[in-house]
């Protein structure tokens, strides 16, 4: 398993340990990446649009695959990162390094 997939698996675990609302998922991204990311709210909104009210019924592996697709690392069209500064600086679109672990156990809420 590659390091990107392990990192996104950690993100999926942290997201599953949350209540599953948009703010909770964004907070999970902030916790995993140890910093707020400008594209996290759009990523989380796209994830919720894809999973709907059944978010917590997806497995950690299913969420990882969806997140990889949305991040453009799953062999599909990449998720568009917002260009907040629009100054032509390509650094705004660099991807954050993905962590290799999460300190939260996956929890499925019912």
Phi, psi angle pair for 96, to nearest 5°: -70, 145
Whether 18 shows a pLDDT value over 70: the answer reads yes
Whether 21 shows a pLDDT value over 80: the answer reads yes
In this structure, are residues 13 and 106 in contact, taking their beta carbons and an 8 Å threshold? yes
Whether 84 shows a pLDDT value over 50: the answer reads no
Q: What is the mean pLDDT of the segment spanning 91-95?
A: 46
Q: Report the alpha-carbon distance of residue 49 to residue 44 in Å, rounded.
A: 9
The pair of structure tokens assigned to 57 is 């019924």
Whether 37 shows a pLDDT value over 90: the answer reads no
Determine if residue 67 is left, alpha or beta; phi over 0 gives left, psi from -120 to 50 gives alpha, anything else beta: alpha
> What is the per-residue pLDDT for 106?
58
> What is the per-residue pLDDT for 4?
74
Task: For the full predicted model, state whether its pTM sits above 0.75.
Answer: no
- Neighbouring C-beta atoms of residue 27, cutoff 10 Å: 18
Place of tokens 């990523």: 43
């Amino acid at each position: 398993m590659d390091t990107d997939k392990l990192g996104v698996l950690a993100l999926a675990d942290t997201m599953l340990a949350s209540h599953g609302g948009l703010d909770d998922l964004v907070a999970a991204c902030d916790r995993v990446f140890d910093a707020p990311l400008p594209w996290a709210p759009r990523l989380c909104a796209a994830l919720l649009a894809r999973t709907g009210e059944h978010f917590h019924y997806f497995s950690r592996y299913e969420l990882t695959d969806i997140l990889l697709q949305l991040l453009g690392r799953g062999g599909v069209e990449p998720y568009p990162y917002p260009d907040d500064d629009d100054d032509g600086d390509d650094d705004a679109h660099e991807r954050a390094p993905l962590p290799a672990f999460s300190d939260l156990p996956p929890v499925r809420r019912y």
